[in-house]
Amino acid sequence: MDPLPLETSTRLALDCTASPIVVHLTTRSSQHAAWGWPASHPTTAFALAVTIYRLLPKQRWLGCLAIAYAFYIGFGVSMTIHWFSDFVAGALVGTSVGLVVGASFSQRQM
């Protein structure tokens, strides 16, 4: 598998969460400034998982395993350093990134 789609989804997911404007506008006063909304761990995990799911239609088990692992990461950070809403937002943003990147690169492969 070409690593470019995975790199693209990772970079886009991190760009969605690491922007100084996003961090400034969404950081709760009780949290450290780097802990913004959405959470970057589930955003990146879901972007990668959904990209894998879209690009490997003959190996759905691998995509399902990646999505299950993304949920594991998301629930882990929502129980420790983030609020549950941070996880949900990260999962939605990451899934959106993964769908767009997966669709884009699957059209290139045809």
Q: Rounded to whole angstroms, how far apart are CA atoms 68 and 63? A: 9
* DSSP assignment string, 22-49: HHHHH--TTS-TT--SS-HHHHHHHHHH
Predicted pLDDT at 33: 43
Average pLDDT over residues 15-42: 59
Q: Rounded to two decimals, what is the model's pTM? A: 0.75
The predicted-structure confidence for 55-90, as pLDDT tens digits, reads as follows 999 999 999 999 999 999 988 888 887 788 888 988
Domain ranges of the chain: 4-109
Of these ranges, 18-22, 28-32, 49-53, the one predicted with the greatest mean pLDDT is: 49-53
pLDDT recorded at residue 17 = 60
Compute how many other C-beta atoms are within 10 angstroms of the C-beta atom of residue 106. Answer: 15
